């Protein structure tokens, strides 16, 4: 509430403020109840290994099926979940669910799980992960955590220690949305990530803008020289794919391969992707 309240100055704006405040409160209330009402679900998007020419795993992407709002995308509720302290139980649910589902997949397939900054700072995180792996019997090397640079903001000793602990347990750590954060390069010095995921904003323009192409080239070379693999995010066209491959990217992910799909559609997605790639290769996919 503003200091000006009561003096009348802001009265004109109050209805609008109240409306947005009310819808925000409603969202918070619904979000708090969503877990018990079983409204969360994980969708999966394939990650394609360009060298091996096969799917190497899937990224778990959280969805909220709201009874009135429909399918709410994570960008609209994860920040709220973080603010109201719900991200810890929600993140735990995601980890348990993703590990349990991945345990039933063929052995060579990995599962990538996004971990938010608040979740990462929770001292219980390592125990939550250990438990998810134990209950599901998923081998640790099949679990990859995706963190963004915001996790590393402040560069605290605890964060680095947690990362080392998780890596020592056999998990793989990827730096997500790489290139869009604050001071990317210093983070690469503090921790040996396994993978850099090149943000889709660079991939989108890679065939149209020279600047994006040069940035992609710089990131892939930097990754390689630091012993990290690179993944192109948001690949939508064959031209983008060919360019990312030419720049030496190891993996690609995007609507060109598949949109995120429900767990029940995983097998059919793998099959249709296999067929689709065969026919693409016969035609314009050239030397892929
Ligand atoms: P992200 O981890 O960078 O995930 C990639 C996002 O790009 C996903 O959006 C995906 O659906 C979308 N995407 C994939 N391929 C393409 C493409 O070819 N074109 C375009 N335009 N978009 C593509 P989504 O599922 O809406 O997730 C958004 C963000 O929400 C994620 O970004 C991640 O930061 C966060 N998120 C999702 N699930 C979780 C979760 O379980 N926990 C946490 N903490 N964050 C999550
Ligand atoms: Mg991600
Ligand atoms: Mg990303
Ligand atoms: Mg993102």
DSSP string over 163-204: HHHHHHTT-EEEEEEETSSS-HHHHHHH---SEEEE-HHHHH
Question: What is the separation of C-alpha 149 from the centre of its chain, rounded to a whole number of angstroms?
Answer: 12
Contact 174, 112 (CB under 8 A): yes
- Nearest ligand to the CA of 45 is 1
Q: How does residue 282 score in pLDDT terms, banded at 50, 70 and 90? A: low
Beta strands in the chain (DSSP E): 40-49, 54-66, 70-72, 110-114, 143-147, 172-178, 195-198, 229-232, 251-252, 261-262
Residue 87: other Cβ atoms inside 10 A: 22
* Mean pLDDT of all residues in 184-191: 82
In 209-249, which ranges are continuous DSSP H helix? 210-225, 238-246
Q: Which residues pair with 198 in a beta bridge?
A: 178, 232
- Higher pLDDT pick, 185 / 122: 122
| C-alpha distances in Å from residue 252, one per residue of 12, 187, 199, 231, 256 | 51, 23, 11, 5, 9
**Residue to probe by mutation, ligand 1, list 114, 173, 176, 256, most atoms within 8 Å of CB:** 114
Residue 169: other Cβ atoms inside 10 A: 14
Cα–ligand 4 centroid distance for 78 (angstroms): 12
Complex ipTM, two decimals? 0.98
d(CA 204, CA 234): 7
pLDDT, residue 195, reads 97
d(CA 264, CA 95): 18
- Higher pLDDT pick, 243 / 283: 243
- Higher pLDDT pick, 157 / 276: 157
Q: Does 8 have pLDDT greater than 90? A: no
Digit-coded pLDDT (tens) for 19-73: 888 888 999 999 999 999 999 999 999 999 999 989 999 999 999 999 999 999 9
d(CA 112, CA 118): 18
Q: Does 279 have pLDDT greater than 80? A: no
- Which atom of ligand 1 sits closest to the CA of residue 119? 44
The secondary structure of residue 23, as a DSSP letter, is H
Are β-strands 229-232 and 251-252 bridged in parallel, bridged antiparallel, or unpaired? parallel
d(CA 226, CA 54): 25
Share of the chain above pLDDT 90, in %: 72
First-residue to last-residue Cα distance in the chain: 59
Q: Does 4 have pLDDT greater than 90? A: no
Digit-coded pLDDT (tens) for 78-120: 999 999 999 999 999 999 999 999 999 999 999 999 999 999 9
Q: Does 277 have pLDDT greater than 60? A: yes
Q: Does 1 have pLDDT greater than 70? A: no
Residues near ligand 1 (Cβ within 6 A) = 45, 60-62, 73-75, 78, 91, 94, 114-116, 146, 176-177, 200, 234-236, 254-255, 260
**Residue to probe by mutation, ligand 1, list 70, 73, 74, 80, most atoms within 8 Å of CB:** 74
């Amino acid at each position: 509430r503003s200091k000006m309240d009561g003096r009348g100055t802001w009265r004109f704006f109050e209805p609008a403020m109240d409306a947005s405040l009310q819808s925000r409160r409603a969202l918070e209330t619904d979000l708090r109840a969503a877990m018990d009402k079983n409204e969360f679900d994980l969708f999966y998007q394939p990650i394609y290994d360009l060298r091996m020419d096969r799917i190497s795993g899937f990224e778990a992407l959280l969805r909220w099926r709201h009874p009135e709002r429909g399918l709410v995308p994570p960008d609209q509720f994860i920040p709220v979940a973080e603010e109201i302290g719900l991200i810890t139980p929600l993140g735990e649910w995601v980890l348990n669910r993703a590990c349990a589902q991945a345990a039933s997949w063929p052995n060579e397939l990995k599962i990538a799980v996004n971990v938010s900054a608040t979740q990462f700072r929770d001292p219980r995180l390592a125990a939550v992960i250990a438990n998810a792996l134990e209950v599901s019997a998923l081998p640790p090397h099949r679990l990859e955590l995706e963190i963004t640079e915001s996790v590393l903001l402040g560069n605290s000793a605890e964060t680095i220690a947690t990362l080392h602990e998780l890596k020592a347990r056999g998990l793989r750590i990827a730096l997500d949305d790489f290139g869009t954060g604050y001071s990317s390069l210093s983070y690469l010095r503090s921790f040996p990530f396994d993978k850099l995921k090149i943000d889709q904003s660079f991939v989108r323009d890679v065939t149209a803008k020279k600047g994006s192409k040069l940035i992609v080239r710089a990131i892939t070379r930097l990754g390689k020289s630091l012993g990290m693999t690179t993944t192109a995010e948001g690949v939508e066209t064959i031209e983008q794919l060919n360019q990312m491959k030419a720049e030496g990217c190891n993996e690609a992910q995007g609507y060109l391969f598949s949109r995120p799909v429900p767990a029940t559609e995983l097998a059919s997605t793998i099959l249709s992707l296999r067929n689709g790639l065969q026919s693409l290769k016969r035609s314009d996919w050239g030397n892929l």
